[in-house]
Structure 1
């Protein structure tokens, strides 16, 4: 019997409505009973179960869905198609054939710091037993695990947990989400994917889907999803599992969590404030390593074109007074034209014909305290003459395979690549040696650690490893590989690699993150606005140090009669406003984009260079303050760029703010994210008063919105009154802009 068929279409936008589980007969366990579980208390209530903490017994941390129908299991099968260019987007049709629901609570037993709830859920003709075990891992972590037992349980491969919510409860997290910060009312898929081109932007997404293998994406596509939420009621829950899951928050009174597995495990966290919860959460995820000192000294210039062009542009930039921390030369392996634009040869050998005198270039940059960063991804080129590593990996069985043992080729634009199999220990040793020799050995001070989203869900992996587990696990292991390379070569404190994809434990592994490939636009679907939302949602999800490509990456063009006609491309105004945004984030890094010959660059004109100098001076001037925030990220898991909710949880007006942020606790920034704007609407949260950073005058009233000036070169920035850093911050910004 086909009970339900769901078309997730790359992320659940067409998913079915939340299922209302039917009411069961009264439970066997008496209500009103309390069961101590370490510092937590499990209670049997009229509605089902709830969890509180001894320190604040009146605040419910977790409760079953209000109607008591909190658990279900399904037998289902999925048809999966991987699409996109590059591939890494997934269309999933899930067919449910049997559903078990209507849980009973028959018994609760406590042993030590664990409590076991047992009961049954009913199917069309029989029932299946379940256990829900709560274990106190620490004073702030309560682990839970759901297990199904009995003859029928082995065929059940979906578990659904429905927990209580309220209509006005804002829900944050789910990783680095790029469109919405408050996820209430949304269905969010937790599957690492390419974030797409357009992501729902009208016309653009439709055209990209039509012309480029369904590469458009949706507002819920991200390379860094996490099965974790924090709410305005100071409730925090996350899954420890790697299988695909969904967080369905569309219903007013419930949050439904579904995992594509026959079991589910996770944790419920306790904290008195959002900051407490984030600290507790990052105890599990790991916290990010401190940024190397050299990163703070200025801008990392992204340049392509070979030795002569790079040297020319470095000199032009330095002559303009731009503070330069290092260079990012992603084309160290050489380039070739593709249908998408200028792309790299993915063979991971230095192209010495393209970059003659490479070692001297590295040494010259080092004399000024800078580093040269390169680029790598987990793919190997199949292009003749650039396929040495692919052929070696194929011969040794180091590549992701089809069921028949042949290499599983991944499409990128108009060329195909192999993907390394990180579930194979021998593969890891092999590619690490390549990186140590060809990258660290040639003087690289770090690299862009790109991709990680494309592991096929029907792949054959080493030792029979499950691709449904490894798909979300792959980014962590890809990052772990780079972390091992820099640590094992003795450069761990000075090198930095920045990652695009990620999962729950990535913050404890990667040294830096970036947002991926935004469109060169102003929009909220895939433009500059998504860069800020992605940093904010990532920050509250443990990714404490993030940044974006200045100016975006993706341009769109038409080729007509041999001429390239730009359709979407950078404008000077967009580029300069993006510089201003990134001056108040973890890292300032420029990016040439996919069509360097068409895109305006940070050094294209004297006006652009002067604005780059100004924003670079602001970034460098904030170094003492930013380093203190890096210390907090490393020691407590707090993000540098923070949503207002983290410090103003009692002000509900902060919940839906997307385009304003705190840098630490003492600087508030409202960047210009709209074309032609020279002022912005700013919300001043209750609980603090603020001074305009540029004039020193009082700004706004707590709890109110105000339109504030934001001319080019002086974005809306405010310093919290009474802050220990207030005087220093005012001085830093005054000194940085003195020449203007």
Structure 2
């Protein structure tokens, strides 16, 4: 009997060595290099540039520098400041025909691309202007082939310069837009970026996903990849955005939802790749960095002010039922902790899985877990404390849950409200050791149905808010009711999920709607238009800068650049791991330092984590409670 632990350890080490060998000897293929081509122009050296007025912007063509021709864009308020410019003598528009391979599951994706035809040389035709619209036609050349392109500029009501690039879809399905940069120019934004605040020198993919478990912390990432392909990488993010602001006060945002890559690896250039034959975006001028963010959010949308009650104290994340809430509330009162709300994510019932404590994704109150719910509501309300709950766009079969009253998965399946697979059946997406169906939010009736559930089951049961979890897991090969390509809709799903929640809030009387709040994990460009609050997702309960407490700081800063003005993290992190080789459990020290960080977040909220019993909690001892009271 005594040999069994050693046997487990031996096999664990063997598996670890095999995984490590795989990483060392079968590494991921490197990503494609940026496309660098020539600008094929024959112009006399003395040819002066023409100036085309497009709103408040001025487009200068052809400019000359160091014997090369380039395009330059300025703003009338600051003509010496370059809003955008191409690299002299090099093509600034390219195209390719490629074939992507998308692999992964559970919200984790790997995208590889094979370029079959590249159009790397560019010629520019005669610009054509009509009023404030400018068309620059031209031709792209590749090996044995060529195609036409069109570059259009137009002003926007927000004061931006809109650009569109179009190539024939039968010839190319990748568009590239290349601009000049300086070695010292720093690039910020791109939504929630957890590993680096400055992205210069890196290749930044924009495709929302689970952030991963470990994200480079070893051996944890190896193990998560081996068991579920869930390790993640430095760039994986729930809420990446195709937007940047640079230290040179230059800003750009794509309007596309398609998969895109911002290649900042070369010090002299930034190349944007869009998986489409059509790309559009905006260049943004402002006299200050803050002005650039303000201007950007006129397009992306701005978050509304939070209700006052949310800012009056801690939001206590708790599970366990009615009496558990009363027990912890008493401790909080004894230590004079200001409490804004109790967030009871297990209001739907709790299930134990291989990952820890998770929930029954069937959006109705579990009256056995929370008996006397109306009385609990009244008790908390009399003390000025709100109740928050939980929802996500998944549904699970609940035949194994004895006390369910509705089977929402069954209802949605019968009405055709779930995303489908290639065989026309509900696309069941694996999550730890169970599978779930995903709502098809391209279907208006499905949106109306889940809105009604939010109104009846969440708001109707007295919730003043909720976590609107997930939104990153639309499978790229799914079949949608709208007949749209799911790979192209994938990033938009985060906005669709946020908008459904916002519509449910806005359907309430004004006096109530302004007091309701939901917090989102997933996001894309326009998510701040809909979401009332964000949180940074599932950090590891660790100190590191790959998946731990340090990533919360970086994520808050980078997302703020992209308009996520109200954001916060789980105090202490979320993901705990219990493993013979190495445990990741929340310590008292980590919890307290994270609480000090969270004191400067817009919302101060706890989470027990996926393994509450393994993590240090604020209620574990008087010293932590006293410290928690000071931070709250």
Q: TM-score, normalised by structure 1?
A: 0.78
* CA distances 1:30-70 after superposition (whole Å, capped 9, x unpaired): 55211111110000112321110011001100111343311
Aligned position for 1:550 = 571
Compute the displacement of 1:23 (Å): 4.7
Aligned position for 2:466 = 447
2:95 maps to 1:73: yes
**Aligned partners of 1:205, 1:299: CA distance in 2, in Å?**
32
Runs of 4+ in 1 over 3 A off after TM superposition: 27-31
Give SS of 2:127's match: strand
Match of 2:522 among 501, 507, 517: 501
Match of 1:523 among 539, 544, 547: 544
* CA distances 1:211-247 after superposition (whole Å, capped 9, x unpaired): x311110010001000011000000011011001000
Aligned position for 2:260 = 245
Compute the displacement of 1:383 (Å): 4.1
Aligned position for 2:60 = 43
* CA distances 1:596-655 after superposition (whole Å, capped 9, x unpaired): 111111111101100110001xxxxxxxxxxxxxxxxxxxxxxxxxxxxxxxxxxxxxxx
Compute the displacement of 1:384 (Å): 2.1
Aligned position for 2:447 = 428
**Aligned partners of 1:336, 1:76: CA distance in 2, in Å?**
44
2:231 maps to 1:216: yes
Compute the displacement of 1:206 (Å): 1.1
Match of 2:82 among 46, 56, 60: 60
Give SS of 1:447's match: strand
Count of aligned residue pairs for this structure pair: 593
Aligned position for 1:282 = 297
Give SS of 1:58's match: strand
Structure 1 residues 39 and 609, CA gap change in structure 2 (3 angstroms): same
**Aligned partners of 1:14, 1:204: CA distance in 2, in Å?**
23
**Aligned partners of 1:390, 1:612: CA distance in 2, in Å?**
40
Matches within 5 A, 1:313-462: 313-386=328-401, 388-462=407-481
Unaligned runs of 5+ in 1: 1-11, 617-740
Determine if contact 2:104/2:229 at 8 Å carries over to the other structure: no
**Aligned partners of 2:32, 2:415: CA distance in 1, in Å?**
45
Compute the displacement of 1:16 (Å): 2.2
Aligned position for 1:622 = none
2:32 maps to 1:16: yes
Compute the displacement of 1:399 (Å): 0.2
- Greater relative contact order (Cα 8 A, min sep 6): structure 1 or 2? 2
Give SS of 1:554's match: coil
**Aligned partners of 2:601, 2:527: CA distance in 1, in Å?**
19
* CA distances 1:543-598 after superposition (whole Å, capped 9, x unpaired): 0010000000001003x7xxxx9701111111001000010110000000000111
**Aligned partners of 2:172, 2:146: CA distance in 1, in Å?**
12
**Aligned partners of 1:245, 1:310: CA distance in 2, in Å?**
45
User: Alignment RMSD, CA only?
Assistant: 1.6
Determine if contact 1:38/1:139 at 8 Å carries over to the other structure: no
Determine if contact 2:183/2:268 at 8 Å carries over to the other structure: yes
Compute the displacement of 1:251 (Å): 0.3
2:606 maps to 1:590: yes
Aligned position for 1:262 = 277
2:332 maps to 1:311: no
**Aligned partners of 1:326, 1:195: CA distance in 2, in Å?**
28
Determine if contact 2:35/2:120 at 8 Å carries over to the other structure: no
* CA distances 1:663-708 after superposition (whole Å, capped 9, x unpaired): xxxxxxxxxxxxxxxxxxxxxxxxxxxxxxxxxxxxxxxxxxxxxx
Determine if contact 2:38/2:122 at 8 Å carries over to the other structure: no
**Aligned partners of 1:529, 1:132: CA distance in 2, in Å?**
42
Determine if contact 2:419/2:440 at 8 Å carries over to the other structure: yes
Matches within 5 A, 1:674-693: none
2:529 maps to 1:513: no
Aligned position for 1:296 = 311
Compute the displacement of 1:207 (Å): 1.8
**Aligned partners of 1:378, 1:23: CA distance in 2, in Å?**
48
Aligned position for 2:190 = 174
**Aligned partners of 1:311, 1:65: CA distance in 2, in Å?**
65
